[in-house]
Amino acid sequence: MTPTVLFMAAEGKPDPWRDAFLAQMPGVDFRVWNPDPEKDQTGDKSEIDYAIVWKPAAGVLASLPNLKAVFSMGAGVDHLFGDPELPKDVPLVRLVDRCLTQGMSEYVIYWVIHYHRKMGVYAKFRADNVWKRMRQADAEQRRVGILGLGELGGDAATKLVPLHYQVAGWSRSKKEIPGVESFHGEDQLIPFLNRTEILVCLLPLTPDTTGIINKDTLAALPEGAFIINCARGGHVVDDDLLAALDSGHIEGATLDVFHTEPLPADHPYWSHPKVTITPHMASLTVPNSSTEWYVKNIERMERGEAPLNTVDRGTRY
Ligand code: GLV
């Protein structure tokens, strides 16, 4: 029997996922949850085997008595914990999507090079019709630091190494990535920041990492450092970052994620000359490649094997 999959993403359009599922798992019973009972296709709740979700509505997952696994539609799983009734005995599966990983590394590399080569300054020169050159920096002297060396941070770090940057990463436990200096644990956060000129945040958002980019950690970065946040808005204390940008201690920030999204029209980031904003597009989940991951895991589970990359509910990633 082919399984029944419930797609539950209020913001996402189901059609590309349905097409991908039908192509990759012919015969799958693909149903789409909708808060409007007129449009909801859940049907008999006891028939739902797997749920593919983004920001699940409170209590819906708990109402599915035979649910075998919950698949996150994003690399981050913090959105799952927004459901106060998240079922306790059902595995939660992180998304490892080759296109999502690639897209994130592209975003990181793009902005690292942007800051390293002072492209923002050249854009300003251009706007003023100024022909001027600055001294070219040496990648071997440029210290990039990645907060979070998981699937995404690890890939970005690995790909920065052959570009000759001095790459380090900070994570909860020590990581072995060739060419990447590993800092770990609370004690090594400040030494990691002290050596980091371009800081990239790719941490999971958990109670431990909320507000990790704050006045103390910003102060630990060298004068003139840059921030690239493509994880979650909750990692940053906005007022602290704005103060560090205004004081000149932080030279620029590229922010893809915010406490409130879309970023409210009156937020000071919009008008700040040192802030670049992108609309949570650093890397998007691609229907085809993410479905490869869901199908691979569903097939494993249907064979009686455990799913890959399950979430640890203690650490919340
Ligand atoms: C997007 O924010 C994701 O978690 O993949």
What is the position in ligand 1's atom list of the atom closest to the CA of 76?
4
**According to CATH, where is 3.40.50.720 located in the chain?**
4-97+285-302, 98-277
pTM: 0.96
Atom of ligand 1 at shortest distance to CA of 74? 5
Flag whether pLDDT at 197 surpasses 90. Answer: yes
Query: Nearest-CA neighbor of 144 among 210, 205, 192?
Result: 192
Architecture of domain 4-97+285-302: 3-Layer(aba) Sandwich (3.40)
The ligand 1 site (C-beta within 6 Å) comprises 74-76, 285
Sheet holding 198-201, edge to edge: 180-184, 166-171, 143-147, 198-201, 225-229, 250-255, 275-277
Q: Whose CA is nearest to atom 3 of ligand 1?
A: 74
Residue owning the nearest CA to atom 1 of ligand 1: 74
**Res 10: pLDDT:** 79
What architecture is the 98-277 domain classified under in CATH?
3-Layer(aba) Sandwich (3.40)
Q: Could you tell me the pLDDT band of residue 295, with boundaries at 50, 70 and 90? A: very high
Closest ligand 1 atom, residue 77 Cα = 4
pLDDT for 252 equals 98
CA of 92 to the centre of ligand 1 (A): 15
Is the C-alpha dihedral spanning 143, 144, 148, 153 positive or negative?
negative
